[in-house]
Structure 1
Amino acid sequence: MMGRIKTSSSRVLLPLLVLLVLLPAAASSPVQAAGQEAWGFVDVRDGAHMFWWLYYADSPSASYQQLPLVMWLQGGPGGSGSGFGNFEEIGPLDRDQLPRKTSWVQTASVLFVDNPVGTGFSYVDKPDAYARDVATVASDMLVLLRSFFTQRKEFQNLPFYIFSESYGGKMAAAIAMELTKAVAHGSVKCNFAGVALGDSWIAPVDSVMTWGPYLYSTSLLDDFGLAEVTGAAEAVKQAVEQGQFQKATELWSVAESVIEQNTNGVNFYNILTKEPDEEVSSLAVDDFLSLLARRHVRPLHRQSLVQLMNGPIRDKLGLIPPNVTWGGQAEEVFSSMAGDFMRPVVDVVDQLLAAGVNVTVYNGQLDLIVDTMGQELWVNRLGWAGLPTYKNMRWTPLEDPASPGSTGAFYKTYKNFSFYWILKAGHMIPSDQGTMALQMLKMVTQQA
């Protein structure tokens, strides 16, 4: 079924659809990005409306028809790609509306989707319309992608990649699998070229079980702290093994609290930096789910970003319903997914590899919440036929483009699987190491 699509350009011919964003900005509007843009909503289910925002590639050496299309999926769940991913990580402008030198738009068209429904500017009309598992998330995204590629046929033959971060990676794996099937059946017309899983929540228990050893090895836990964190992690593992996934999510919250108490409040997203002092938008904290939302959704909704998105950006977009606030349903999104949160999707990655899909894993050296040790554990358990050869390969160093002569990353690739270890980066790799992330993007999309 085709989702009903509403866009900022629904009354004009396609070549003219972005003229409105090329006009001089009013005094109260943000600085305009240099390239073409488009945005809109797709009704993916009854009462469920998903927002997307497209930046056409803006390269001095190639037209957008010569460059790939990349869809970016944020984590949380409840984090907004149109907000955080766009203005804090890879979009053409930063949060202060200044040009970003490491924007991915210079080498690809970038599609931000506020996913699942209720995230960012996406919204639901009724509580039972929130997604509760990745299967629903994938189904919703297929409706959006079918609408997008039908409406914008100029992108159907361009290489299309899904890049993701954090919980977005778990959703990306499921979406990639469903998209592969849809392309094969002819129900979605696109040139799906691969999926990239960044610091992704693919095997939650592997992350939790390696928190203690990782923190201990970096002198952030003593022997007593290691014992306490290990005990808390074992409780999470036991709940997962018993199929008690809601309980596992609760115990995951407990394990995080044990870490905070033993490390003097380590930053889960970059162990060498302090949590920003900026206040975040108000979300009630009255139970463990609200506590988790405070830890893992609130950092994506800092007050200055909230003000930007609900002020100048909202005015620019011109189609956000009056009753919809950017990020206003974020906590509900997180809570609705709590029963599915700790479920692994390693089997989905195996299915992707078996189907011949190009899969990339990339991880930040300084990330705790999805530490590299945990990522390597699930990768080494894959049933993929190429794994024995991959494991026997040595990695290759990559020079940091921002610091010639310095190593910025290592990578290893075999057939349709690649792994990038990004140095000096935490959970949000493009924010911490923008030039290295851009170089990785070019390599994954076969531009370098």
Structure 2
Amino acid sequence: MGLLQVCSVLCFLNSLISAGLSSPLAGREAWNYVEVRDGAHMFWWLYYADCQSVQSRDLPLVLWLQGGPGGSGTGFGNFEEIGPLTRDLEPRKSSWVQAASVLFVDNPVGTGFSYAQNPEAFATDVSTVASDMLVLLQSFFTERTEFQSVPFYIFSESYGGKMAAAISLEVTKAVSQGTLKCVFAGVALGDSWISPLDSVMTWGPYLYTTSLLDDFGLQDVNAAAAAVKQAVEQQQFLKATELWSVTETVVEQNTNGVNFYNILTQQPDDRLSSPDDDFISLQTRRHLRPLYRQSLSELMNGPIRKKLGIVPQNVTWGGQAEQVFSSMSGDFMRPVVDVVDRLLAAGVNVTVYNGQLDLIVDTLGQELWVKRLKWDGLPAFNQLRWTALDDPASPGVTGAFYKTYKNFAFYWILKAGHMIPADQGPMALQMLKMITQQV
């Protein structure tokens, strides 16, 4: 670990110990709130790049977007995946801060430390999420002018990818119109909910070919998925979300509780379905609870809250997460493949990356929607063979495959589930460096 990283860690730990300390130390961090609409407050937390050999101003800026919707980037993404410290406040060897300045945003409104002052302030669709983020980014780049001239990337995970696609389109428009000053360099969609139906329709085949379903289970899962498809085709998206929840229960029942985030593990008992559940409660327990685990909540609502010093007294980290998910449920199953096509047509660099062991957004489903893109470079992309990448943690062992053509790339990350940086940290860091052209 370099001297600058040691200093950063020590400063962070000292700030946790020092009672009442409420300002960033040593210029290595910054955080603030932005009111993006009346009563809608979004929280961001920035780490400046911490690299011995390169000044932070010479490295890119990465915006990280968590999934859910309702998962907290400042919490889970920061302390469980890519931030400088782990949940136990130990230095993370594969932190992305080694290669970029990292901006975490609790998005949509009501996520993490972000908060809504009234029910009308919650976003109900991805277009509102995108317009809210644009307001935040306009404020951020105005306040932090040093980032206006460095390459700016958006990286995402899960539902964060759906939001990232829409946000990237708004950013592209704003930059061209001169209402946002930044150098937008690309978007990376990790295990992303771009085409929900393609994911659901491939759950059965994926589980069957990995010996997690028998013939009867395959029939059950495929039948449940077919009901989701019918609802989507009829544009009944709220009904489709409910039937998606039913399909997950069918998967649980036929696989003895396979974990949707990594097929080699079992779903914890506290996330399994119960006869008393409504689908919102069940889905928030399945898909938000992992992002708000007790140990992380204790850290965020205790030492971190004290460190930040600006969180309103009546705001609890994660306290509105279920309302965020519920408010977005009618938009949840809508695809945004057309948005990706528009980004590619506009010349935006788009990367798709996916974990081999992910079920909720399995690679089979991702490949299906990619093959339906209208992008004029797709035929040439499809003719390419992929290239193997060594796992940085295990030289000589394949850690990933990738293909890239013009402004589109696809990374297949081996031995990783839904949360790739948490499962394969060194490989995720290597991918970041490749996408941002540092290797």
TM-score, L = length of structure 2: 0.94
Cα distance in structure 2, aligned partners of 1:276 and 1:91? 26
Show the counterpart of 2:401.
410
CA shift at 1:26, angstroms?
5.3
Query: What is the DSSP-based 3-state SS (H/G/I as helix, E as strand, rest coil) of the residue aligned with 2:415?
Result: coil
C-alpha contact 1:22 1:36 (8 A) present in aligned 2: no
CA shift at 1:120, angstroms?
0.2
| Structure 1 pair 57–250 and aligned structure 2 pair: CA distance change class (3 A) | same
C-alpha contact 1:22 1:34 (8 A) present in aligned 2: no
| Structure 1 pair 348–26 and aligned structure 2 pair: CA distance change class (3 A) | closer
Show the counterpart of 2:307.
316
C-alpha contact 2:15 2:307 (8 A) present in aligned 1: no
Cα distance in structure 2, aligned partners of 1:264 and 1:23? 42
CA-to-aligned-CA distance 1:118-142 (integer Å, 9 cap, x gap):
0000000000110000000000000
CA-to-aligned-CA distance 1:410-433 (integer Å, 9 cap, x gap):
000000000000000000000000
Q: What is the letter of the counterpart of residue 379 of structure 1?
A: V
- Choose which of 290, 299, 315 in structure 1 pairs with 2:281: 290
Cα distance in structure 2, aligned partners of 1:179 and 1:198? 19
CA-to-aligned-CA distance 1:330-379 (integer Å, 9 cap, x gap):
00000000000000000000000000000000000000000000000000
How does 1:37-436 map onto structure 2 within 5 Å? 37-275=29-267, 286-436=277-427
Query: What is the DSSP-based 3-state SS (H/G/I as helix, E as strand, rest coil) of the residue aligned with 1:24?
Result: helix
| Structure 1 pair 331–178 and aligned structure 2 pair: CA distance change class (3 A) | same
Whichever structure has more helix as a proportion of its residues is 2
C-alpha contact 1:35 1:57 (8 A) present in aligned 2: no
Q: What is the letter of the counterpart of residue 319 of structure 2?
A: G
| Structure 1 pair 227–45 and aligned structure 2 pair: CA distance change class (3 A) | same
CA shift at 1:25, angstroms?
3.5
The reply to whether residue 27 of structure 1 matches residue 17 of structure 2 is yes
Cα distance in structure 2, aligned partners of 1:204 and 1:100? 32
C-alpha contact 2:16 2:303 (8 A) present in aligned 1: no
Q: What is the letter of the counterpart of residue 306 of structure 1?
A: S
CA shift at 1:290, angstroms?
1.0
Q: What is the letter of the counterpart of residue 14 of structure 2?
A: P
**How many positions carry a matched residue from both structures?**
425
Query: What is the DSSP-based 3-state SS (H/G/I as helix, E as strand, rest coil) of the residue aligned with 1:119?
Result: coil
CA-to-aligned-CA distance 1:48-79 (integer Å, 9 cap, x gap):
00000000000011111110000000000000
C-alpha contact 2:358 2:417 (8 A) present in aligned 1: yes
Cα distance in structure 1, aligned partners of 2:166 and 2:368? 20
Q: What is the letter of the counterpart of residue 207 of structure 1?
A: S
Query: What is the DSSP-based 3-state SS (H/G/I as helix, E as strand, rest coil) of the residue aligned with 2:438?
Result: coil
Show the counterpart of 1:9.
none
| Structure 1 pair 381–33 and aligned structure 2 pair: CA distance change class (3 A) | farther
Cα distance in structure 2, aligned partners of 1:153 and 1:387? 37
Query: What is the DSSP-based 3-state SS (H/G/I as helix, E as strand, rest coil) of the residue aligned with 1:84?
Result: helix
Deviates most, 286-295 or 135-144:
286-295
Show the counterpart of 2:3.
none
TM-score, L = length of structure 1: 0.92
CA shift at 1:274, angstroms?
3.1
List runs of 5+ in structure 1 lacking aligned partners: 1-17
Q: What is the letter of the counterpart of residue 252 of structure 2?
A: E
